Structure formats: C-alpha cells, structure tokens
Chains A and B, each alone.
Chain A
Amino acid sequence: MENLELLFHGFAVALTWHNVLFMIIGVLLGIVVGVLPGLGGPNGVAILLPLTFGMNPTTAIILLTAIYWGALFGGAITAVLFNIPGEPWSVATTFDGYPMAQQGRAGEALAAAFTASFIGAISGVILITFLAPMVAKFALRFGPAEFFAVFLLTFCSFIGMGKENKAKIVASLAGGFVLAAVGIDTISGDMRMTFDVPELMNGFDFLVLVIGMFGISEILVTLEEGLEFKGKRARIDMAVVFHVWRQIPRYLKTLVRSSITGMWMGVTPGGAVAASFMGYGLAQRFSKKRDSFGKGNIEGVLAPESAAHAAGTSALLPMLALGIPGSATAAVLLGGLMIWGLQPGPLLFVEQKDFVWGLIASMYLGNITGLLVVLATVPLFAAIMRVPFALIAPVILMVCAIGAFTVANSRFDIWLMLVFGIVGYVLKKLDYPLAPMVLALVLGDRAEDAFRQALIGSAGDLSVFFDNPLVTTLVVLSFALLLWGPITSQVRRLFGRPATVTVEPSS
C-alpha cells in the first residue's frame, strides 16, 4: 500500500521532539479552551493562528489540530462534572454524564467519555487515511464547474442536514456570503460594498468574525445566567480506567454505530453537535435498558462522545481533500493553510506530501497524547472551573482582543470583533446557527470565483453545470440534500410512523 508507506513517512515527520512538544502544548491549551465557557475550538484556533504565521506549516498545523483535539476532550470534563457543556457538542454528554457524577461515578463517566472520544476520533482518522487520498485523486480532474458544484453540495447539505430551523441556516449562510463579498473583487478588481471606507478594502477577516461571534457572544450568553459553578469532584486513577476499559467490549456495537454516524455527519457537514445527538438517540433506541438513559447509563456517555469526535475528525477530510471544511474549526484551519501559502484541495496531496501525511500521522499521535494527557490532568482542569468568573471573564476578553488585533495588526479589527460579538449574541438569542456564516465567509469568495470562472469558460451559459455526468451528479445530489429534510418528514408522515424523539440542542 502506497498510502501506508506515506503514512509511516508522516510519522517520521510528526515524531520529531519539536513537533511532539508542540502537540502536548496544543492539547493542554485545547483542554483549557474546551473547559472554559466562551472559548471553544473555533476561536481557540483562531486566536492562536496569527501566532503561527512564522512557524513551519507542519509544526503550526500540528499545534492547531492538537488544540482541536484538546477542545474536543475538554468539553466532556465540564459536561460531566458541572453539567455545563464546555462545547456545544458535549450537550448530549451531560444527559447521562452528570447523573453518573451525582451518583459518585464521575471518574467512571470521564474515563468512558475520553475513551469513547478516542475511539471516535481514531475511526475518523482511519477514514481520512484511506479515503482522503482517493477523494483527492478523484478531485484532481475537477474544473471550476465541478468545484462550484462541490461548494453547492456543501452549502446544500448544511441546510439539508442541519438540525436548526432551515430558513435560519439559509439566512446565516446568506449573511456570510454578503460579508464575504465586501472588499476588492478578486476577478475584476472592483471595490464592492466598501462605501469608501479604507478599512473595508481588504474585506472582513473570518478570524475576527470567529473570535467575535464564538468568543465574545459566548461570554455574553454565559454571563446572562450570572455564573455560579457547582462542580462534582472527580478522581481518576488507573483502577477506574481499567474498570471502564473492561466494560468497553460490551458496548462495542454502540461505539461502532456512533462512530459511523459521526463519520457520516462529519464528512457531509452535519457537524459534531448534530452527530452527538444522533449518536445518543440511536444508542437509546437500540438499547435494551432504554429507561436507564438520562439516569446515568454509561452507554449514554459513550455514544455521543464517540459520535462527536468521529464527526469532528472526519470534518477534516473534505477540508484536506477538497478544500471544503466540514465544520467551523475546520474552516478556521483551512484559512490557516491559505495564509501559510498552502492551497488546500486535491493538489495538496501531490505537491505537499510531507505536510499532508505529517498532519495525518499527527492526528493519530495527537489523539493518543490527548487521551493520556486528559486522563492525567482532569483534577487540574476541574480546578480551573473553580476560579471565579470575575477573574476568568476579563482574561478571556483580553485574549480575544489580542487575538483579533494580531490577525492583521489592525486596531479596527478589535472594534469589528466587538460588533461581531454583539451581532453574534443577538443571532444566538434568535437561534440562528453561526457555523454556516463562518463557512460562507470562508468559502464564499472561492465558491463565487469557481462559479464565475466556470461561466467565463462557457461564455455565460449555465448549461456548463450539466455538461458532463460528474458535475450533473453533484448538482443533482446538492438539490437532493437540500430537500432531504422536507422529503423525509413527508415520507414519515405518509407512512404514519410516530415522530422520532428529537432532542434539540439548548445552546
């Protein structure tokens, strides 16, 4: 297998002490970011991104993906111990994780959560290892029309698969497109929507948007409740861990089912949040002890965690192979790649073999490191939550401000962050999903370029999107996904099946 050979070469790249050191730092930072409300995967990565511009891209992306892993792990800690999901995707973990902690089984719940996360993540990485090169090779034949079709597919599946109100997803996407259009038009060189304000000439940087929308607004939402943390204590020793590991084989079916759900949701940008709820729902439906869910069933911790991580990891597959991120954090990482001068997409696998395989190898290592680090440091991070919020909040706000400034060394960006923070807060209150907006801002320009290049190539004839079987399939698939939700609910109504119990994310 050529892939395996390349993968081992990748391990050699990733295993220098320098990279491993950054991996550990990244995981630790990531857990902090995951534990603190108001800082999450997307904006944790966004704040650190400018600091890595000077680094070698491989080290930089190892650091940033490690933060991603850490954040995925960290969300579970607060979910179990404090009944506060540190990240939206750990909401489902609180359903059974917190009851377990109340029964004094916090250590067990955490060990289960971490192990499940690890299994989910590794299945995602294995998927990437084998599928990504194939997808990339396939995508090498893509022209602008095909690429636009893939973008279309991404946007449509976001709408079709999303759990939120469809119209609000569309609005959020559209808002992102509008923001993306601001600034110099890359094809004609015209100014668009700058209103003669020089600061708007370069357009909006999505990093500032992410820091404002995910950071500032998150803090505002958290503070609304007037924070008061009351946590359970947890001690994890090896005996508890082994006790949990011995039980794992019994829940193999649940884990496999959740992982597959997660992988599917990650590759089609359904997202980790939706995946974790779906994993939980499926486990409940197939379980023999259905009634014990929500009362501290270990399966209720294993299922959402493995699904969330499988999704979070698989979201990197389309980002690497096609240049299309499957999640908000992947979108931020994608932006990073472009800033380091790497063009994400199929060519990456041909031109930057070291980078790609180093990254994939680091995903294996990063998750192993993450599992070990997180098992060892739970008490430490639980202690962070006991630091009063009056101290944490200004520090987080300061970090956000610094992060926004360093993106382009512009004071205007800090103000922009504040504005986006307020806008994000209002949107959040109105239940608008924010991830589609980030996605649209990152991809909007590129999708538009592809669209127009395709049209220039065909002299303005729209039939270019139905020119060959490949692009036709993609376009048809897009519309199928777009209409997926309404169709399935109609079918369900037609056959008179009882509506399935859906749990809405409350974040």
Chain B
Amino acid sequence: MAGILLVASIFIFFQGLRRPPGVLVTWLQLRRVAQVLIPLTFYILAIEYVGVYVASVFFIAGFMVAFGSFRWWAVLLSGLLIPLVTFWVFELQFKVPLPKGPLEAWLGY
C-alpha cells in the first residue's frame, strides 16, 4: 500500500538533488504579491465572522481604494452592487447557501 508513496518520495528526493540554483523573486515582486495575499487572508478570516457578502463589500471597496484611482461613488457602487448581485445569483437563483453573518440574519435570511 505504501509502495506508490515510497516511489513518490524517492522521486521527490531525486528531484531535490537535481534542482538548479537561481534567484526566484525580486523583493518588489514579493511586496506586490504580499499586497494581495495579506488582504486576502483577512478577507477569508472575515468570512468566518461576518459572512461572505459583508466581507466582500469591504474587500472590493478596500482593494479599489488602495490600488486604483476611482471616484468615491464608483467605489461605493461597485462595492455594494457586486455582493448584492452575488447574493441574488447564489442565494436566490441557485439556492446555494454561502457563509452568512449577523447582518443577513438580521435581515431575515
């Protein structure tokens, strides 16, 4: 049973020996990646507590403010509209329950 696993790990070990050295990412690139990764982590954390819809409002709006140059009404509009459309599609059309928080409960969903 462990045969396949054993073979796999031997291959991985073999692979480790053959890997050529080299520079992987520049610091600038890493910073850009972190700029996405850290908000994303907080976003997923927020989903646990306030549900996916409320979290998305702040995630999208925050992203737009931080990285784009949008007028305030564009931020507000897309921040609210996109989660609302998502809600309509998933909750009302497909009847797929997504993680929800206190706000949705207060509204009766």
CA of A220 to CA of B63, assembled, Å: 14
Shortest CB distance A236–B (Å):
29
Give Cα distance in the complex from A127 to B62, angstroms: 50
Whether the pair B15, A391 counts as a contact (CB closer than 8 A) is no
Please judge, given known A-B contacts A220-B37, A405-B98, whether A394 and B68 are in contact too, CB under 8 Å: no
Decide: A397 and B40 in contact? CB cutoff 8 A: yes
B105 at the interface (CB under 8 A from A): no
Q: Which residue of the partner chain, among A50, A219, A226, A390, contacts B68 with CB atoms under 8 Å?
A: A390
Chain A residues 367-406 with CB under 8 Å of chain B are 388-391, 393-395, 397-398, 401-402, 405-406
Bound-state Cα–Cα, A223 to B32, Å:
7
Provide the residues of chain A in CB contact with B44, threshold 8 Å: 401, 414-415, 418
Q: With contacts A397-B43, A414-B44, A418-B41 known, is A220 near B64, CB below 8 A?
A: no
Decide: A402 near B86, CB < 8 A? Known: A167-B14, A393-B36, A429-B25: yes
How far is A415 from B63 in the complex, measured between Cα atoms in Å?
20
User: A171 touching B41 by the CB < 8 A rule?
Assistant: no
Q: How many residues of B contact A (CB 8 A)?
A: 47
Partner of A181 from B5, B29, B43, B48 at Cβ < 8 Å? B5
**C-beta contact mask, B74-108 vs A, less than 8 Å → 1, else 0?**
00001000110010001000101111000000000
Q: CB-CB contacts of B27-68 with A at 8 A, as 1s and 0s?
A: 001001101110011011001100010001001101110111
Instruction: Check if A398 sits within 8 Å of B60, measured CB to CB.
Output: yes
Type the 1/0 row for A206-233, where 1 means its CB is closer than 8 Å to any CB of B. 0000000000100110011010000000
Interchain CB contact under 8 A, B47 and A170: no
B30 to chain A, nearest CB (A): 8
- B86 partner residues in chain A, CB cutoff 8 A: 398, 402
Chain B residues lying within 8 Å of A448, measured Cβ to Cβ, are 4
Q: List chain B residues, Cβ under 8 A from A168.
A: 15
Complex contact A220–B36 (CB within 8 A):
yes
Q: A181: which B residues are within 8 A, CB to CB?
A: 4-5
The distance in angstroms between the C-alpha atoms of A470 and B64, with both chains bound, is 60
Taking CB atoms, residues of chain B closer than 8 Å to A401 are 43-44, 47, 52
- CB <8 Å contact, A390 and B33: no
Looking across the interface, which residue of chain B has its beta carbon closest to that of A406?
A: B96
Q: Looking at the complex, which one of A174, A220, A388, A394 makes contact with B9 (CB distance below 8 Å)?
A: A174
Nearest chain A CB to B15 CB, angstrom units: 4
Query: When the two chains form their complex, are residues A425 and B33 in contact, meaning their CB atoms are under 8 A apart?
Result: yes
We find that the number of chain A residues with CB closer than 8 angstroms to chain B is 48
Chain B residue with the shortest CB-CB distance to A430 = B24
Map CB proximity to B onto A445-482 as digits: 1 under 8 Å, 0 otherwise. 00110011000000000000000000000000000000
Is the pair A177, B41 in contact by a Cβ cutoff of 8 Å?
no
Interchain CB contact under 8 A, B37 and A422 = yes
In the assembly, what is the distance between CA of A401 and CA of B51, in Å? 12
Asked if residues A170 and B15 are in contact (CB atoms below 8 Å), the reply is yes
The answer to whether B64 touches A390, judged by C-beta atoms less than 8 angstroms apart, is yes
B90 CB contacts on chain A under 8 angstroms = 402, 406
CA of A220 to CA of B83 in the docked complex: distance in angstroms? 23
Q: Chain A at the B interface: mostly helix, strand, loop or mixed? A: helix
- Please name all residues of chain B whose beta carbon is closer than 8 Å to the beta carbon of A452 when the two chains form the complex: 1
* Cross-chain contact A429 with B24 (CB below 8 angstroms): yes
Q: How far is the CA of A415 from the CA of B44 in the complex (A)?
A: 7
Q: Provide the residues of chain B in CB contact with A409, threshold 8 Å.
A: 97
B residues near A339, Cβ cutoff 8 Å: none
Is A178 on the interface with B (CB-CB < 8 A)?
yes
Whether A408 is near chain B, meaning CB under 8 Å from some CB there, is no
Let me know if A170 and B96 touch, CB within 8 A. Answer: no
Q: Give the distance in Å from the alpha carbon of A224 to the alpha carbon of B63 in the complex.
A: 16
A397 contacts B1, C-beta separation under 8 Å: no
The answer to whether A50 and B48 touch across the interface, beta carbons within 8 angstroms, is: no
Task: Judge if A243 is at the interface, Cβ distance under 8 Å.
Answer: no
List the A side residues contacting B11 at CB < 8 Å: 167, 170-171, 174
| Contact residue among A188, A223, A451 (Cβ-Cβ distance under 8 Å from B4) | A451
Quick check: is B71 within 8 A (CB to CB) of the other chain? Answer: no
Docked Cα-Cα span, A168 to B64, in Å, equals 38
For residue B76, give the distance in angstroms from its CB to the closest CB of chain A: 13
Q: Of B8, B40, B67, which one neighbours A418 at CB under 8 angstroms?
A: B40
Interchain nearest-CB distance for B91 vs A (Å): 11
Which 10 pairs of residues, A with B, have the shortest CB-CB distance? A390-B68, A174-B8, A390-B67, A394-B63, A171-B15, A224-B29, A394-B60, A170-B11, A167-B15, A174-B11
Instruction: Identify the B interface with A (CB < 8 A).
Output: 1, 4-5, 7-9, 11-12, 14-15, 18-19, 24-25, 29, 32-33, 35-37, 40-41, 43-44, 47-48, 52, 56, 59-60, 62-64, 66-68, 70, 78, 82-83, 86, 90, 94, 96-99
30 contacts between A and B (CB under 8 A): A51-B94, A167-B11, A174-B7, A174-B9, A178-B8, A178-B9, A188-B1, A219-B36, A220-B33, A223-B32, A224-B29, A226-B32, A388-B70, A389-B67, A390-B63, A390-B68, A390-B70, A394-B59, A397-B40, A397-B43, A398-B82, A398-B83, A398-B86, A401-B44, A402-B86, A405-B47, A405-B99, A411-B99, A429-B24, A429-B25
Inter-chain pairs besides A398-B60, A405-B47, 15 sampled, C-beta below 8 Å: A51-B94, A167-B18, A168-B15, A170-B11, A178-B8, A188-B1, A388-B70, A391-B78, A394-B59, A395-B82, A397-B59, A401-B47, A401-B52, A405-B98, A418-B41
